[in-house]
Structure 1
Amino acid sequence: MSKVATPFVRNTASLGGNIILAQKYPFPSDIATILLGAASTVRLQVYSETLEVTFEEFLEKPPLDPSTLLLSVFIPNWASDSQKESNVILETYRAAPRPLGNAVSYINSAMLGHVSLNEPSGDLVLSNLHMAFGAYGTEHAIRATKVEQHLTGKVLTPSVVLEAVQLLRETIVPMEGTSHPEYRVSVAVGFLFSYLSPFAKGIKGPGKTLNISSAGSLDTDDICNLPLSSRRETISIDEYKPVGEPIKKYAVELQASGEAVYVDDIPAPKNCLYGEFIYSTQSLAHVKNIKFKASLASEKILTFVSANDIPSGGQNIGSSLMFGDEPLFGAPVVEYAGQALGVVIAETQRYANLAGKQVVVEYDTKDLKPPILTVEQAVQNNSYFEVPPKMYPKQVGDFCKGMAEADHKILSTEVKLASQYYFYMETQTTLAIPDEDNTMVVYISSQYPEVAQSSIAKCLGIPFSSVRVITRRVGGGFGGKAFRSCNVATAAALCAFKLRRPVRMYLNRSTDMIMIGGRHPIKAFYSVGFKSDGRITALHLDILINAGISPDASPIMPDTIISGLKKYNWGALSFDIKLCKTNNTSKSVMRAPGDAQGSFIAEAIIEHVASVLSLDANSVRQKNFHTYDSLVLFYPESMDEASTYTLHSIFDRLLTTSSYLHRAESSRQFNSCSKWRKRGISCVPLVFKVAPRPAPGRVSVLNDGFIVVEVGGIEIGQGLWTKVQQMTAFALGQLWSDGCESLLDRVRVLQADTLNLIQGGLTAGSTSSESNCAATLEACNMLVDRLKPVMEKLKQQPDGVVSWDALIAQAVKDNVNLSSSTYWVPSQESSTYLNYGAGISE
């Protein structure tokens, strides 16, 4: 029940409303399925007559007349019968895109049955079964009566269960047009197995009695007593106080109260218009005509903006990146499904959405080759993007020699990784406001306002100085707001520029998923040689990366994939990586781009080697950990002193503190006892190469002693502003021997503004807080140097005690410049370095 919709919906809606919807419409109700499985009954008031019907009869009735009143729902008290030694077991199941709720189910189920013990044999027998299934592409939840009748009174032998599965497959038949019908049927079978599997083995041995509370308790009572997780961390932080201290997050009150302002919370300016993208549904085609089912003459629907409306001197550019520009609109040829064709503009968002649904696009594929959609097709057509030689990773060692030393070999094994969508809470959104003198102010949810500024300026054909991009905070990014947000911002700015009115654009979730892209899909083949003890001597990889239609940031992928894969010592490492150009939405950076895929491929190889040798995967992992010397060979540009290589100790400590061996043995025992359900445990190391980027910073102290800080980094929820706040208090507090922690509450961090603070850079790569704090520290140190003479002068006074307010008041009188700016650039030694970690999951 807790997975139905959200707490807000559950607190607002009603049980009656839910099941009436399920009765009148093809509504995929989870509640109706549970009530049907629990053999509930319903009381109805039909005019002057009161009817009591089973829930099954209730659902099968014609849609209820509006005059019919639902009086009550009765759930029987299925108490266990101690005299007959029977227990009642009710289990509910649900499969959905998001397992924790707030998503419509692919299928749901509720199963109830009496479980009794056959004394002589120790077998368990089911009776009074109610098996309900719903939301699989049916008008309403149904009972699997044939399955119930088949199982009643029988011992659950394999043949009985298999026949039940066949009967269930005949029962669960999704309606035509239902998505993933085979998957839904297979999940229904899985639910049936989950319910029946604990009863299949019976209860053997003398003196055994029936005492179960759920379908899963038979499997887990004896061997699921896992130890509690524990953690201890001791850090000495006084030296840099308040840096590193656990403090409340900056502006947490605003976020917790819902008063924090995101782009879509900014009140609409006067005469604001709303835009909706019109995008292609074809992968490669000529656009012959774009028309609307209904006329655009409605006073609420104003116009359609396309590539023809780009001003003279401007360019058809949606995002302008270092590896190449991406068009804003597909014209006259669209190159992928999801490519923008234009923007329909209306007085309200509702009318913009309605107009978008009225669009009819005529396509023509004459004289065009078939679209390239897969990496295999890209290879056949020699369709690749070039990777700059300086960005292509270097191979390590002699692969042929390493393979010659191997006792065993695995050749040309395939591993595939699909794409992922970002699923940030706030989709792409922009508010563009025309200003005086042909200038533009753009509020955008972006990790990279600087590149949005340049893209807008190039599209409109105006100087960068005429475009002011502001980002206060971002409601989730994961890389999806780095480059992919530029097209939305540029489109809104173009519409506002043409119409000389503010324009707001907010992509709905469906449009966002279609147009924005995501993580790079990858197909890889590996050949690996290894010794009998699990030590790997050589590895070769052939990797095909699906980059989509434009380079975006894809040329970084070969290096990051190999960087993530290098966490193990492969002996010799060779590879051939191709960046495939396909007629798909451009793929972009997404949380640990390349590193995540490289690490996955590495673990797949380790597991494969362990399986071939019948060894524990962890022993193979540890056998192939780097020594310091091999780490220097694989990461020559990122290595520090040997004492900084801590992966061995981290991994060993994790195994100890997590009771890995005990939990692994517990999993093995569980798997030996459970036929259908299995458990696993995995402990994975990580070597992550980070590269801090340059960052600007400005710190200003106002006359009242309050402090304003500007940095290029964007607050996405990761706490960047909090860390900058702490660094400011620490750095300015250096004027006192014991620091000045009270400065923490005087610090205000301002939103990113491309005209106030230039060269803000990209917030990504797990180093933005580090870089922006370094810039803040430099700017504060400049202020400290200016304030020290003032401090010394005040100390000469009789009491010798100097407060922050007194110091600033005197500095103002002495005409000290209380604002300092800097542009921090990492040193050669810190330009890249390695982070180590390990994680365990069960």
Structure 2
Amino acid sequence: MRTLHSLESDASAAPAAPVLQSRQHESAQRHVSGSARYVDDLPLPTGTLHLAIGMSEVAHATLDALDLEAVRRAPGVVCVLSAADIPGHSDVGPVFPGDPLLVSDIISHHGQALFVVAADSERAARQAARLAKVATTPLPVCLDPREAANRGDLVRPTHTQARLANGRAGDLDSISNKLAKSAWQLSGELESGGQEHFYLESQAALALPGEDDEMLVHSSSQHPSEVQKLIAEVLGVPFHAITVETRRMGGGFGGKETQAAPVACLAAMIARRTGRAARLRLARADDMRLTGKRHPFHHRYEFGVDDSGRIESAIIELTGDCGHSPDLSDAIVDRAMFHADNAYYLGNAHVRGIRARTNVASNTAFRGFGGPQGMLAVESAMEDIARRLGRDPLEIRKRNLYCEGRETTHYGQHVNQHPLLATLIDQLEDSGRYWARRAEIRAFNAANPVVRKGLALTPVKFGISFTAKHFNQAGALVHVYTDGSVQVNHGGTEMGQGLHTKITQVAARELGLSVDKVRITATRTDKVPNTSPTAASSGADLNGMATRDACLRLKMRLLDFAAEHLAQPRVSLSLTDGELHGPSGVLMTWGELIQAAYLERISLSDKGFYATPDIHYDRASGTGHPFYYYAFGAALCEVVVDTLSGEYRLESAEILHDVGDSLNPAIDIGQIEGGFVQGMGWLTTEELKWNEDGRLLTDGPATYKIPAISDVPAGALKVRLLEGHPNSAASIYRSKAVGEPPFMLAISVWAALRDALASLTDYRRAVRLDTPATPERVMLAAREQRDWQEQHDTAGAEPTQVPS
């Protein structure tokens, strides 16, 4: 009998159909026809209660009194609960405490949940919630993370990574001294704004009470196991009493990794108190006020470079606006620090991450998980160096890429497959006619004093794995029924990204079946327990490997049975195209094999498990190997800018992205397109605004602008997958994750805007351009560039040049 290990070795060969093929999303037709069921679409039992949350109208205060009598007497109201009514734990912080389910003493942000109302209709619940009388004593409101950091008001301690180019540990003084010895020094600051997740389906949950203390909760969550845990703790019952199910989400983007749980907990609390089903679905404005965003950051940087523009030393300080509580901010700022290099070798590097507390909703996970924010400082510096030395930004970027002899990060990890960075840029530079277009754009700008064009080609290096080591695990459960159909359940959740489709392909490939034989069922905590969130781009990597593990075990058992049952050599048997093949050809169909195995009492079910190997990080020293591998990409973008009004347009975007051997090229290309456009929104149009009292002003589509179809260049968004470079790590069929890395390709749009603005000073000065780079900010930056040009009367002078 061959071992599972030997079968794994066989399966590591070049994978065959039905993976490595473009296949339609498993719910595509249901999505476009409207028949796909989300939490708010589920049929409701008779007597279901509808919930509304009473929210704070102040950002920071003591809660002196909460009078809910008028709420309880309102028409249709059945139940009203406040913090005093929570039977178990009242803090639902996902990692560290600080997130009260309902406020009992201190209000920490405008819109924070104070109480929950259950009524016979949603309208009645919402109207009743407005009748509460809330007495508070104001406390100082802080909305500036720098102010908070300066006075030491942090949600978690500051963390530092410091490493010398020789591989030894460094410190700020030693690296500052080395930086001062470089031929050129430059410094800068940058503000990057937050971003609303703006998922199509707002936060929602439906709680159905069962016998005794049992409860089934349908939750629009990326992390059903955490929802299960927190509901159990809030209700004071064992975890096994709570089952959480997630069939699909209408988008998540990280916003449903932790912040779906409080909504589910409130629904469960009402269901427990009343014995009736309870549904809570947040209105868009309430969702935006109540839930956190992408972390805004303040960036400060200093770089020392040689005469060629190569970085010798770097000091980078990243201050994250974490909101009022830790949530996932410790890990998010960590990842920003891990990606402070993006694709470049920093030499002697000191990276510091500060986690500031402010009086806004606790900021949380968002596609990229801090990585995009971490990259902005070094990408800003690339432009700064180029303008200071009179060189093209692409030349500076290429000179600083990780390469042989310069392939170790500032946290001590070797960058595997680093030559792909140069490969991607070289191919895109050639296919996109970079240098010819650069000359054309310079000529255009010289002839047009108002309308200017900009061009930028930027790389991406993104680490794949959860930085919290214990999350790098997954389970799967595979059943084969006696008609030969296959059912798979795994720990990942589907939010439109095509995870279930890829898992279907994996199971079908391993069992030698067509994909129509395999069905994925809703993610449930009673089928696969203790699951990790679907986040960190790891959904297919983790759950694909766990599913493959289960299928390999089943296949080994079936082939062992077939060898004995048919008196055939075990090594000669294989399952392909729905048939059992042997030395003489087809021996029996899949269905016949399953029937024979069932009659002989062979188990037709198995579970799989996978844990990512070779990852570790020592927080004390700031060094380790936190990522299993890196995904790479590059984007070439051209913009046109009206420098008087600040209006601009993306003229073209060409993307070349590394996904290893793609599991499903169509889905991967769709993820790249979506990630790029969402990243462009973060960097250009999506501006969050609060008033001085801490109230969010941009709480709906009328005031918050996500990218529209008109923001994408018609026919000029080109996406290609890098071919011929499988993943060097032993991932699922040598593929690479694709969820988050493409988001950062949009940095090329922002860099192209800066390039257009630099043309106003004959490319001699890089202007600061905070993000989002709204037309207003672009207009003000253009004005600053013209003022600088007037003050430095250098008409006709050549840009400063230095020797190569």
Same fold by TM (over 0.5)? yes
Match of 2:85 among 309, 315, 318: 309
- Counterparts of 1:380 and 1:647, CA distance in 2: 38
* Structure 1 SS opposite 2:603: coil
1:418 paired to 2:193: yes
Distance 1:407 1:258, change over 3 A: same
Q: Once the 2 structures are TM-superposed, how far is the Cα of residue 562 of structure 1 from its aligned partner?
A: 2.3
- Counterparts of 1:600 and 1:254, CA distance in 2: 39
Amino acid in structure 1 at the alignment position of 2:487 = V
Match of 2:38 among 255, 262, 279: 262
- Written as runs of structure 1 = structure 2, the 5 A alignment for 1:156-555 is 239-291=15-67, 296-311=72-87, 314-317=88-91, 319-324=92-97, 326-365=99-138, 368=139, 370-387=140-157, 393-397=161-165, 398-411=174-187, 413-555=188-330
Q: Once the 2 structures are TM-superposed, how far is the Cα of residue 713 of structure 1 from its aligned partner?
A: 0.3
- Counterparts of 1:388 and 1:814, CA distance in 2: 62
Amino acid in structure 1 at the alignment position of 2:137 = D
1:776 paired to 2:541: no
Deviations along 1:446-494, one digit per CA (max 9) or x if unpaired, are: 0001111111111111111111111011110110000011111111111
Counterpart in 1 of 2:427?
A: 653
* Structure 1 SS opposite 2:408: helix
Match of 2:561 among 781, 790, 793: 790
Confirm or deny: 8 A CA contact 1:447 1:764 kept in the other structure.
Answer: yes
Counterpart in 2 of 1:626?
A: 402
Confirm or deny: 8 A CA contact 2:337 2:352 kept in the other structure.
Answer: no
- Counterparts of 1:487 and 1:771, CA distance in 2: 26
- Counterparts of 1:380 and 1:635, CA distance in 2: 26
Q: Once the 2 structures are TM-superposed, how far is the Cα of residue 548 of structure 1 from its aligned partner?
A: 1.3
Distance 1:836 1:800, change over 3 A: closer
1:718 paired to 2:497: yes
* Structure 2 SS opposite 1:399: helix
Distance 1:600 1:475, change over 3 A: same
Q: Once the 2 structures are TM-superposed, how far is the Cα of residue 294 of structure 1 from its aligned partner?
A: 6.4
Amino acid in structure 1 at the alignment position of 2:437 = R
1:706 paired to 2:485: yes
- Counterparts of 2:13 and 2:287, CA distance in 1: 43
Counterpart in 2 of 1:694?
A: 473
- Counterparts of 2:418 and 2:60, CA distance in 1: 52
Q: Once the 2 structures are TM-superposed, how far is the Cα of residue 841 of structure 1 from its aligned partner?
A: 1.6
- Counterparts of 2:630 and 2:71, CA distance in 1: 60
- Written as runs of structure 1 = structure 2, the 5 A alignment for 1:586-625 is 586-625=362-401
Distance 1:557 1:297, change over 3 A: closer
- Written as runs of structure 1 = structure 2, the 5 A alignment for 1:672-821 is 672-691=446-465, 693-733=472-512, 740=513, 742=514, 744-793=515-564, 795=566, 801-821=587-607
Amino acid in structure 2 at the alignment position of 1:628 = E
- Counterparts of 1:424 and 1:237, CA distance in 2: 39
Amino acid in structure 2 at the alignment position of 1:755 = D
Deviations along 1:779-830, one digit per CA (max 9) or x if unpaired, are: 0110011101332245559996211011001000110011001221122279
Amino acid in structure 1 at the alignment position of 2:550 = A
Q: Once the 2 structures are TM-superposed, how far is the Cα of residue 573 of structure 1 from its aligned partner?
A: 1.1
1:824 paired to 2:598: no
- Counterparts of 1:474 and 1:418, CA distance in 2: 26
- Counterparts of 1:297 and 1:823, CA distance in 2: 52
Confirm or deny: 8 A CA contact 2:407 2:418 kept in the other structure.
Answer: no
Confirm or deny: 8 A CA contact 1:545 1:578 kept in the other structure.
Answer: yes
- Counterparts of 2:399 and 2:418, CA distance in 1: 20
Distance 1:516 1:396, change over 3 A: farther
Match of 1:835 among 631, 635, 652: 631
- Counterparts of 1:571 and 1:373, CA distance in 2: 35
* Structure 2 SS opposite 1:802: strand
- Counterparts of 1:533 and 1:393, CA distance in 2: 26
* Structure 2 SS opposite 1:324: coil
- Counterparts of 1:379 and 1:355, CA distance in 2: 40
- Counterparts of 2:586 and 2:351, CA distance in 1: 68
- Written as runs of structure 1 = structure 2, the 5 A alignment for 1:29-68 is none
* Structure 1 SS opposite 2:453: coil
Counterpart in 2 of 1:121?
A: none
Counterpart in 1 of 2:352?
A: 576
Confirm or deny: 8 A CA contact 1:393 1:558 kept in the other structure.
Answer: no
- Counterparts of 2:129 and 2:461, CA distance in 1: 47
Distance 1:386 1:238, change over 3 A: closer
- Counterparts of 2:452 and 2:236, CA distance in 1: 61
Identity across matched positions, percent? 30
Distance 1:750 1:499, change over 3 A: same
Q: Once the 2 structures are TM-superposed, how far is the Cα of residue 432 of structure 1 from its aligned partner?
A: 1.0
Amino acid in structure 2 at the alignment position of 1:714 = T
Q: Once the 2 structures are TM-superposed, how far is the Cα of residue 309 of structure 1 from its aligned partner?
A: 1.3
Deviations along 1:485-513, one digit per CA (max 9) or x if unpaired, are: 11111111112111221111111111111
Q: Once the 2 structures are TM-superposed, how far is the Cα of residue 665 of structure 1 from its aligned partner?
A: 2.7
Distance 1:550 1:407, change over 3 A: same
- Counterparts of 2:405 and 2:538, CA distance in 1: 26
Distance 1:237 1:633, change over 3 A: closer
Confirm or deny: 8 A CA contact 1:320 1:454 kept in the other structure.
Answer: no
Amino acid in structure 1 at the alignment position of 2:452 = K
- Counterparts of 1:645 and 1:662, CA distance in 2: 25
Counterpart in 2 of 1:183?
A: none
- Counterparts of 1:841 and 1:754, CA distance in 2: 44
Confirm or deny: 8 A CA contact 2:485 2:518 kept in the other structure.
Answer: yes
- Counterparts of 1:774 and 1:429, CA distance in 2: 30
Q: Which is further off, 298-307 or 459-468?
A: 298-307
Amino acid in structure 1 at the alignment position of 2:560 = P
Distance 1:655 1:315, change over 3 A: same
- Counterparts of 1:819 and 1:328, CA distance in 2: 40
If asked which structure has higher relative contact order (CA below 8 Å, sep 6+), I would say: 2
Q: Which is further off, 686-695 or 453-462?
A: 686-695
Unaligned runs of 5+ in 1: 1-235, 734-739
Distance 1:766 1:688, change over 3 A: same
Confirm or deny: 8 A CA contact 1:320 1:451 kept in the other structure.
Answer: no
Confirm or deny: 8 A CA contact 1:728 1:777 kept in the other structure.
Answer: yes
Amino acid in structure 1 at the alignment position of 2:86 = I
Distance 1:809 1:790, change over 3 A: same
Q: Once the 2 structures are TM-superposed, how far is the Cα of residue 685 of structure 1 from its aligned partner?
A: 0.5
Amino acid in structure 2 at the alignment position of 1:346 = A
Instruction: Give runs of ≥4 in structure 1 deviating > 6 Å.
Output: 292-295
Distance 1:637 1:620, change over 3 A: closer
Length, aligned pairs only: 588
- Alpha carbon RMSD of aligned pairs, Å? 2.3
Structure index of larger Rg: 1
Counterpart in 2 of 1:150?
A: none
- Counterparts of 1:823 and 1:358, CA distance in 2: 51
Q: Once the 2 structures are TM-superposed, how far is the Cα of residue 289 of structure 1 from its aligned partner?
A: 3.4
